Amino acid sequence: MAFTGATGRRGSGGRSGEGARRRARGGTVLRSVEQRRVPGTQADPRVAELHSAVSRLRRQLAAHPGEFRDRGVAEEELAELAGMAAAGDPDIPRLRRSLLLIAGAIGSVSALRQGVRELREAVDLFGRSPRG
């Protein structure tokens, strides 16, 4: 799959050796979330970034030794976000609601602060929630 970046050049992304190996295995390599889809392709780099951010935060939360009251809420919402990312077309208001619940549940845990920030940045890639 080819993507165009800010320069408008087409490319496969990644380093040449790594990218070639991933493409040979059928994987997609994205250099930047700023890249846009080329017409006719299926992958949305925003969804890929959301998936990565959710996965990282889930791993960080699982590895965090401390217990806190709303840990279950955070785990449930991260599972919901993972499902939306896997489906490929997340609902923006639902993304934002989950982000708020996660931030409220684990935002005060300093060890998870970077992961929450990365998740917020990934959700922000989808733009503002439509008001109705």
Output b/e per residue, 30-66; b: 16+ Cβ within 10 A.
beeeebeeeeeeeebbbbbbbbbbbeebbebbeeeee
Q: Is the pTM of this model over 0.85?
A: no
Question: Do residues 113 and 82 both lie within one domain?
Answer: yes
The number of distinct structural domains making up the chain is 2
Size (the chain), residues: 132
Report how far residue 70's alpha carbon sits from residue 2's, in angstroms, rounded to the nearest whole number.
Answer: 42
Question: Do residues 49 and 108 both lie within one domain?
Answer: yes
pLDDT by 10s per residue, the chain, length 132: 444 444 444 444 444 444 444 444 444 444 444 444 445 556 899 999 999 999 999 999 999 998 889 999 999 999 999 999 999 989 999 999 999 999 999 988 999 999 999 999 999 999 876 665
Question: Do residues 28 and 52 both lie within one domain?
Answer: no
